[in-house]
Structure 1
Amino acid sequence: DELTAVITITEYSSIFPGGFSLAAFGILSPTSLENIADAEITGEEGSYTLPDYTTEPGAVAGTGPFTAQAWNRDQAEVTLQRFDDYWGEPAGFETMILRAIPDETARRQALEAGDIHGYDLVAPADVEPLTEAGFQVPTRDVFNVLYLAFQQETNEALGDIKVRQALAHAVDRQRIVDTILPAGGEVATQFHPNTLDGWSDNVTTYDYDPELAQELLSEADQEDLTLDFCYPTEVTRPYMPAPRDIFDVISQDLESVGITVEPKSYEWTEYIPKTNSGDCSLYLLGWTGDYNDAYNFLGTWFSVKDDAWGMDEPELFEAMAEASGNPDPEERIAAYQGLNEQIMDILPGLPISSSPPSIVFAGNVNPPNVSPLTQENFAEASWKED
C-alpha cells in the first residue's frame, strides 16, 4: 500500500539493513527536499563536501516529535517545540533548546550555573566532580576507536613499513588510557572495538617498546626523522575527549625516540578538510559506529584509496568489497577477521583506544536512554516531578 516502503537492492551488501538506521535515511519532508534541490555535493568518492546548511534555505525536516521554531545561526542555537500531532509517544519537554558550546570548560560552567540542563561528551576529569555535585552522568557502552593516522604520501618516510612500525612501538597507549580516558577505556589492537563481530585475536600487535622503535628507525636510516603532527582544537569527540592532552602524550613519546614533531593545530571545521586531503603526515581521528557491522569501521577507511591515508593496497580494497558482499554471516565475519589481520600488518595507522563517552544532565531531568551510537532520543527525557 502507499504507506509501505519497499527497498530493492542490486547486490548483496553488509551495509543493509543496518545502514537504514542512520538518521540520513529518515523519512524527509518533500517540501524541505525541494528547498535544497539545487544544493550540490562536491568532491569525489572518499572525500565528499556537503552543502552548507547553516545558511539558507534552512533545515531539512523529517517526521520527528519536535518542530523547529527558530535557528539563531549567530548563537549556534536551535529552538524546538513539541509536536502534539506526532505519530508516536509525545515528547516529554514542551520546548527544547540545542546550543553549541565548543569549549568543554564553558559547557561545564554553563551547567553548574543553571544556564543549561545537560551537555554531551563530558571530560573524563569532570565525571566524578559532577556526580558528587548531584548531576547525573550516564556512561554509554564502548562503540568507538581513536587512531593515529600515518599519511604515506605526505612524508616519504611513512611509506616505509619499518618507520610505521617504529612509530607504533614508540607510543605508550596504556598511559593515554590510564591518565586521559574515562574509566572503562582500553587500548585498541585493531580498527574497531571488540564489541563487534569480526574482531580478531590474531592481529599483529605493537607493544610499547621505545628501544625497538629506535632500532627500526636506524634500520630505515631515519634517525633524524621530522614529522608534522596535526590535532584539532575547540572540539571533543566520543573517542577523543581531550585532543590536546592526547597529542601531548604521543608527541613526548615520539620525541623520546629521536623524532622531531612539528605541531599543527586547526579548528574542527578546518581540521577535517586538512586530514581528508592528505595535508597532515600524522593526525588524530577516530570513529563512533553507526550500526552493528565491522564494515562500518573498516570499510569507512579502507575500501578505496583516499588522500586521508595515502595508502594504495588494491588487494586489501578487493578483499574488503568481497567481504562486504558476502551474504553468509559466518563467512563474512571470518573475512573481517582476516581483514583486521591484514590491516594491522600493513599498519596504515595506529589504533590507540576505545572508550565509553559520558553525557550529563541536571538533577531535575529524567534522562533519555543513552546509546552507544551517541544518538539519544531526547523526546524520551522529561522534567522530574517535585
Structure 2
Amino acid sequence: MFKQAVIPLLVSAGLLASAPFAQAATNLVFCSEGSPAGFDPGQYTTGTDFDASAETLFNRLSQFERGGTAVVPGLATSWDISDDGLTYTFHLRDGVKFHTTPYFKPTRNFNADDVLFTFNRMLDKDMPFRKAYPTEFPYFTDMGMDTNITKVEKVDDKTVKFTLKTVDAAFIQNLAMSFASIQSAEYADQLLKEGKAGDINQKPVGTGPFVFKSYQKDSNIRYTGNKDYWKPEDVKIDNLIFAITTDPSVRIQKLKKNECQVTLFPRPADLKALGEDKDLKLPQQAGFNLGYIAYNVMPVLKGRTDANPLADLKVRQALDMAVNKQQIIDSVYQGAGQLAVNAMPPTQWSYDDTIKDAKYDPEKAKALLKEAGVPDGTVFTLFTRNGGGPTNPNPLLGAQMMQADLAKIGLKVDIRVMEWGEMLKRAKNGEHDMVSAGWAGDNGDPDNFLTPNLSCEAAKNGENYARWCNKEFQDLIDQARAESEPAKRSALYEQAQAIFDKEQPWIPMAYPKMFTAMRKNVEGYHQSPLTTNNFATTQVK
C-alpha cells in the first residue's frame, strides 16, 4: 500500500510555490486512512467515502450542526410537516451555486429540479439517468426510504414536497445524512447527452465548501476552496489535500513532520506520546460507534452445497463463549475502547443497559459444538480489513487472537485480509463465514443502527452482513420508526435489542473512543460524534 510521503508529489504537480503546504496558512493536508470507492455519496455507506465526497463537496437539505447531532437548515432554510406526519414541505435556499469546474459550468443556481433529480434517481430504476448509469443506493434502500417515499414533487423553483407512505420519526435526520447529498440536475443532463453518466461518480459537482480538482487512487485527492460558497465565512483555506495513507504509524510520522496537519485513528499505543507532544493536540470523545463480528447465518452459503453451521444458534452461542473479548479489547484497543454487548453503543438513546455479555467459557462452547454436530477441524473464513479504522485500530491482531481462541475449541479460522472497499463488496455478496465490521451512527437516531445493519431489507444485498432476518425484530423496528413519542420508541427498541441478544447474529466486540490527532496551529476543526470529517471552517494559523 502507499506509504510514501506526499509532499514531493504535490511539489512536482506545481501546486506549491517555494514552501510546502504544511507551512502555508491557506492550505491544509489531511492524512486520510483509505481511498474512496468514488464520489457519488448515494452509492456508499462508509466514512472514508463520505469524507471525500459528501462532507467536502456536497450539501443536503438539512444538516447536522458542527460537532453534534442536532439538525439545522442546509440547502433548505426551513420545512413544514403535516399534522399526520406524512408530508414534508421544504423551502429551498436562494442563491446557492453549483461548482464551476473544467468539466462543468452551471448556467443556473440550485433549485427544486436538483432535489427531484437526486431523489428520483434513487427511487426510480426506470429513470433515464439511472438506466444510463445503473447503480444501487444501499443506505437509501436499507432504511426503506425507497418504499416509504411515495413521491417527490416540485411546488415551485424554491419549494419541494415529499409524501411518505408511513410516518418516519427520523425523516429529517435521515435527509441530513451523507447519502442524501444534492446533485446537480443540469450536470446530470449534460452527462446523459455526452453518454458519460458514470462520470457523476468520478468527476463530482456539488454545492459544498470545496471543489473537486483531482484524484489519484491510493495517493491523494485535491480540492480547492469554493469561492462562491453560500456560506463564505466557512471557507478558510484555498487548497485541501487528502494524503491517502493506510498505515497508521506512517500517518503519525507525517503529522509529526508537519507533512500533514490532521489525521485520524491513531493506534492506541501512540496515544500517550501524541498527548505529550507540545506541537500536537488530541481531541477525543466517547464513540458513537461499535466494532463487531458478523456471522453469515444463511442456511447454505453462496457457492457451497453443505449446510452452514452458523445458521445454528448453538454454534453462534459457542463461538461467542469461546472468544475472549476482554483480552482482545485490552490488546487491540489498549484502553481506547470498552467491551460491547449490544447492537448500538451506550451513547445512543434507547440503549438497553440490562443486556449482559455471555461469560467466556471454552468448555461450554465445546459442549455446544458437539450438540450441534460440528466436527473438530471445521474451517470458517474471517474477512478483515488491512489497516486500522474508527471501529478497530488493529483488525489483523484482533482476527489472529480470535483465531487462537477458536483453535482451543477445535475450530480453524482462515483469515482473509483485504482492502476495506473490497472486503465490504465481497461481504455484501455473501462470500464470508464471518466478517470483522463496524458501524458509526450517522444521524443520532437508534433506527440508524438497527435498520441498516439488521433489517430484512438490508439482508438482501445491503449492510446486513449477517444476512439475518427476524420477523419479530423487524416488526418492532418498523413500529418504532413510525412512532413519534420518544419514550414509546425507546421501549420498542429495547425489545428489539433483547431479540438481537437472544439470536446473536453478531459478536459485538467494542465501543471505541474517538481520537483525532492534529497540529497545535489547526483551528476551527469540529470533531463529529458521527465520525465524518468536514473541513469547512478549518484553517492552519
TM-score normalised by length of structure 1: 0.87
Q: Gaps (5+ residues) in structure 1?
A: 41-50
3-state DSSP of counterpart to 2:286 = coil
1:99-248 matched pairs, under 5 angstroms:
99-133=243-277, 134-153=279-298, 154=301, 156-181=308-333, 183-203=335-355, 205-248=357-400
> Which residue is 1:79 aligned to?
222
Please show how residues 16-31 of structure 1 align to structure 2 within 5 Å.
16-31=171-186
Give me the whole-angstrom Cα distance separating, in 1, the residues matched to 2:450 and 2:238. 41
Q: How far apart in 2 are the matches of 1:344 and 1:52?
A: 44
**2:487 aligns to what SS in structure 1?**
helix
Distance (Å, rounded) in 1 between the aligned partners of 2:504 and 2:496: 12
What is the CA distance between 1:299 and its match in structure 2?
Answer: 0.7
Q: SS of the residue aligned with 2:270?
A: helix
Computed over aligned residues only, the root mean square deviation of the Cα atoms, in angstroms, reads 2.4
Aligned 8 A contact 1:227 1:282 in 2: no
Contact persistence 1:182–1:356 (CA under 8 A): no
1:244 deviation in Å?
Answer: 0.5
SS of 2:318's partner is helix
Q: CA deviation at 1:25?
A: 2.3
Match for residue 460 of structure 2? 306
Aligned amino acid, residue 509 of structure 2: I
| CA pair 358-35 structure 1, distance change in 2 beyond 3 A | farther
Distance 2:386 2:320 in 1: 27
1:24 and 1:310, CA in 2 relative to 1: closer, same or farther beyond 3 A? closer
Same amino acid, percent of matched pairs: 26
Q: How many residues align?
A: 370
CA contact (8 A) 1:79 1:96 kept: yes
Letter in 2 for 1:142: G
1:23–1:170 distance in 2 versus 1, CA, 3 Å = same
Deviates more, 1:304-313 or 1:337-346: 304-313
Alignment of 1:86-97 (within 5 A): 86-88=229-231, 89-97=233-241
SS at match of 1:361: strand
Give the equivalent residue in structure 2 for 1:63.
207
CA deviation string 1:296-351 (max 9, x = no partner)? 11111222143632334233323332222223322111110000001111111111
Structure 2: distance between partners of 1:53 and 1:246: 37
Deviations 1:9-31 (A, max 9, x none): 33211331211111332343333
Displacement of 1:209 after TM fit?
1.7
Q: TM-score, length-normalised on structure 2?
A: 0.64
Q: Runs (4+) of structure 1 moved beyond 6 Å?
A: none
* 1:45 matched residue in structure 2: none
2:504 corresponds to 1:347: yes
Deviation, structure 1 residue 290: 0.4
Given that 1:146 and 1:285 are in contact with CA atoms closer than 8 Å, whether structure 2 keeps it comes out as yes
| Matched residue, 1:357 | 514
Per-residue CA deviations over 1:223-251 (Å, capped at 9, x if unaligned) read 41523232334333211111101111211
Aligned to 1:46: none
C-alpha deviation, 1:168, in angstroms: 0.6
Change (3 A) 1:169 1:186: same
1:46-70 CA-to-partner distances (Å, cap 9, x unmatched) read: xxxxx68664xx11x22222223x2
Residue matched to 1:370: 527
Give structure 2 stretches of 5+ with no counterpart.
1-90, 92-156, 302-306
Residues 141 and 371 of structure 1 are in contact (CA less than 8 Å); yes or no, is this contact kept in structure 2?
A: no
Partner of 2:21: none
Q: Decide whether the 8 Å contact of 1:214 with 1:223 is kept in 2.
A: no
- Provide closer, same or farther for how the CA distance between residues 358 and 367 of structure 1 changes in structure 2, counting only shifts above 3 A: farther
1:258-297: CA deviation from partner (whole Å, max 9, x where unpaired): 2122222222232111111111111100100101111111
Which amino acid is 1:82 matched to? G
